[in-house]
Amino acid sequence: MTLVQARLAHAADVEGFRRQARALLHAGIEPDRVAWQVEAGGDDAAADLFDACAAFRADDLPQPDAATPSVRVPAAFAQLCDAGLLHRSPQRHALLYRLLWRLRHEPGLRHDPLDPQMRQARELARAVQRDIHKMRAFVRFTALPDGRHVAWFEPAHHVVEANAGFFARRFAQMRWAILTPDRCIEWDGSRLQLRPGADRTEKPAPDAGEALWLTYYEHIFNPARLKVAAMVREMPRRYWPQLPEATLIRPLIDTAAGRAGAMVDAGATPARRFRPIVPLRAAVPQHTPRTLEELRVATDACRDCPIGAGATQAVCGSGPLQAAHMLVGEQPGDQEDLAGRPFVGPAGQLLDRALAELGWARDAIYLANAVKHFKYELRGKRRIHKTAGQREAAACLHWLEREIELVQPRSLVALGATAARALLGRPVAVQGERGRWLHERADGLPVLLTWHPSALLRLPPAQRPAAYAQWLSDLAAAREAA
């Protein structure tokens, strides 16, 4: 039997497989006569033997010309094939070529869901899809002093190229590299480059973002909701060595029962206090507030929109008059509503952390919100934050503008889209416009737009360190400018 050698340039050479499979099918070469071999970084190692036995190569076969009907396969199989080719199994090319051959010669195959080879191919494709998804979720970038972000990742299959477009789109504004033992990808802000695999010694050392992430992970771990099997399904153990938070899992599991017991013993959270609805006419003062205290009293009584009626109190800004910078958030949250001060809850803690990293004293800044009352919906006893509607934010705008007039900052920083819309009077896409000074206000105050800290807390873990680094650099730019 004459062997035909089909060579693939690298382990993820899908195009090379398609080209040669087309030529092989066109020439009527049965699957048993084809020896598939991966050249660079090959995991398929029978090369020498086949070199000796093979009479010719698939690439020497004529390609079917444009007039020859191409191999017709169901679209679902084409997708399955593209994914299956990225599996680490050395038998994948042989299996998928055999299926292509059979699809051509056994028309009934496409209607047989239980065919063992089809099932095997589906298994390969499923494992690859899962690894593509896990890479998106588990890549952790580290910030380097030169401004680049670098991650080390060890995929289960050859999924690096398949994910390159995803990472380029998601982190388009950053310079980054993902190093893996198979292949590395680099993005310089405009161009993707593929490089040969890296060595584990090139894995970057942990940075400040990692310490933040570990603290965050520890805090959001809810011992009362622990389901170890479900957690391991989502975060398979093979990825643990690559995940900094994995070191916390064992101690968190070990202490979960005790902590959950303490939560039960602590009893229920007392019900929140609600203010009665104050009639609109009686409540709104007839004059423009001349001091921040008058502003607080006036906003507290404001019922120009329905939010105020359900809140404990209005939350005006805090900080010194004539602060160089005024940072504007969206609206008070649950804890701010109870405390009567802005940014004291989780978003405020993240802001405090960022300010501390920048050496920027919180009490040098005036912190305010676009909307002065807490909007929420009740779920059981819990008050869940609801973003204020545009008309509600518009009703509150005159309070914010009065606050700016009274404080007289030299610049404004909009934390998130609600604040940006209030300050600029137009819809703003944070991702597209962040990090730049915008000179659009009638009073001449420049506005710098950046992420809201709550948006960072809501991001999937893989994206958090990079977004946090962007946020820090935006805040640093805001601080420098004034």
Which residue ranges make up the site for ligand URA (CB under 6 A)?
A: 329-333, 336, 342-343, 345, 347-348, 369, 454
For residue 81, give the nearest of 121, 34, 21 by alpha carbon: 121
Smallest distance from ligand URA to CB 303, Å: 21
Burial of 325 (0-12, 13-18, 19+ CB in 10 A): buried
Smallest distance from ligand URA to CB 419, Å: 7
Smallest distance from ligand URA to CB 345, Å: 6
Smallest distance from ligand URA to CB 275, Å: 18
How many CB atoms sit inside 10 A of residue 470's CB?
21
8 Å CB contact between 455 and 415: no
Smallest distance from ligand URA to CB 388, Å: 10
Token output for 471: 């946020």
Cα separation, 44 vs 88, in Å, equals 9
Cα separation, 387 vs 392, in Å, equals 10
C-beta closer to ligand URA: residue 157 or 452: 452
8 Å CB contact between 431 and 107: no
DSSP for residue 409? -
C-beta closer to ligand URA: residue 220 or 442: 220
Q: Name residue, tokens 């003062």.
A: 285
Q: Name residue, tokens 């959950």.
A: 260
C-alpha dist (Å) from residue 211 to 388, 392, 465: 33, 38, 10
Tell me the three state secondary structure of residue 123. Answer: helix
Smallest distance from ligand URA to CB 352, Å: 12
C-beta closer to ligand URA: residue 174 or 305: 305
Smallest distance from ligand URA to CB 373, Å: 11
C-beta closer to ligand URA: residue 204 or 333: 333
Cα separation, 479 vs 482, in Å, equals 6
C-beta closer to ligand URA: residue 155 or 348: 348
How far, in whole angstroms, is CA 30 from its chain's centroid? 46
C-beta closer to ligand URA: residue 457 or 481: 457
C-beta closer to ligand URA: residue 289 or 317: 317
